[in-house]
């Protein structure tokens, strides 16, 4: 399968979920939600490198998608835990690629105040979930920073990091501080794009390293 056909199928699966996610639960809706992300395993396999960490990040993310979509009493915490582990897996892959001398990159300079501002805005409204949400925000922040430390020839990773931060920020804002219309669309569009960009960047790095 060519990269263009893969991207078209990925977009088709993602859009099909976006158009039906507001209609309520239907058979295997949770697998429909996770299907685009699970497709990324093909990209990881095709790249032939970083397969363990990147594949684990994809599987944990898909697990988080499923847990958040299931009507479980602890759905949010279970999903949060799965995504926290996914970010740790991404960090394990990205850290060896990172150039730790790139702290002055404009994207990083912009990211720090955004993350700090989000923490001060959201955390006071999380109640008994403050500690797990704070830990998750910290791990997400480190993952995003690590992705941005990869040299500039990896714009996919830069985009993926920012999109993941935006997606999770929208989740936090919608859940804890200010519910807003079309939140589901904004969250899922940025999320699907973030996952694709991160895996695309990791696979591009693997191809250059051969």
State pLDDT tens for residues 76-122: 999 999 999 999 999 999 998 888 777 777 777 788 888 899 999 99
In this predicted structure, what is the pLDDT of residue 52?
76
Indicate the pLDDT class of residue 207, thresholds 50, 70 and 90. low
Q: Tell whether the model's pLDDT for residue 24 goes beyond 70.
A: yes
Q: Tell whether the model's pLDDT for residue 143 goes beyond 70.
A: yes
**pLDDT, averaged across the chain:** 89
Q: How far apart, in whole angstroms, are the C-alpha atoms of residue 165 and residue 187?
A: 10
Indicate the pLDDT class of residue 47, thresholds 50, 70 and 90. confident
183-207 b/e (C-beta count within 10 Å ≥ 16 → b): eeebbbbbbbbbbbbbbbbbbbbbe
Q: How far apart, in whole angstroms, are the C-alpha atoms of residue 101 and residue 21?
A: 43
Q: Tell whether the model's pLDDT for residue 63 goes beyond 90.
A: yes
Q: Tell whether the model's pLDDT for residue 23 goes beyond 90.
A: no
Indicate the pLDDT class of residue 159, thresholds 50, 70 and 90. very high
Indicate the pLDDT class of residue 152, thresholds 50, 70 and 90. low
């Amino acid at each position: 399968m060519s990269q263009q056909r893969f991207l078209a199928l990925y977009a088709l699966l993602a859009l099909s979920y976006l158009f039906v996610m507001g209609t309520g639960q239907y058979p295997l809706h949770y697998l429909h939600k996770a299907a685009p992300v699970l497709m990324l395993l093909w990209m990881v396999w095709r790249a032939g490198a970083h397969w363990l960490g990147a594949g684990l990040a994809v599987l944990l993310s898909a697990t988080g998608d499923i847990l958040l979509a299931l009507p479980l009493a602890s759905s949010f915490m279970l999903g949060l835990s799965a995504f926290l582990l996914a970010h740790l897996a991404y960090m394990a892959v990205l850290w060896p690629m990172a150039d730790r001398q790139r702290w002055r990159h404009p994207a990083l300079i912009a990211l720090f105040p955004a993350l700090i501002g989000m923490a001060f805005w959201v955390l006071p409204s999380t109640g008994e979930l403050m500690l797990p949400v704070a830990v998750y925000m910290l791990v997400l922040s480190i993952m995003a920073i690590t992705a941005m430390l990869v040299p500039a020839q990896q714009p996919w990773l830069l985009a993926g990091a920012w999109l993941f931060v935006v997606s999770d920020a929208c989740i936090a804002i919608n859940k804890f501080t200010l519910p807003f219309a079309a939140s589901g669309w904004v969250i899922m569009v940025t999320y699907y794009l973030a996952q694709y960009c991160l895996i695309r960047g990791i696979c591009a790095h693997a191809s250059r390293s051969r």
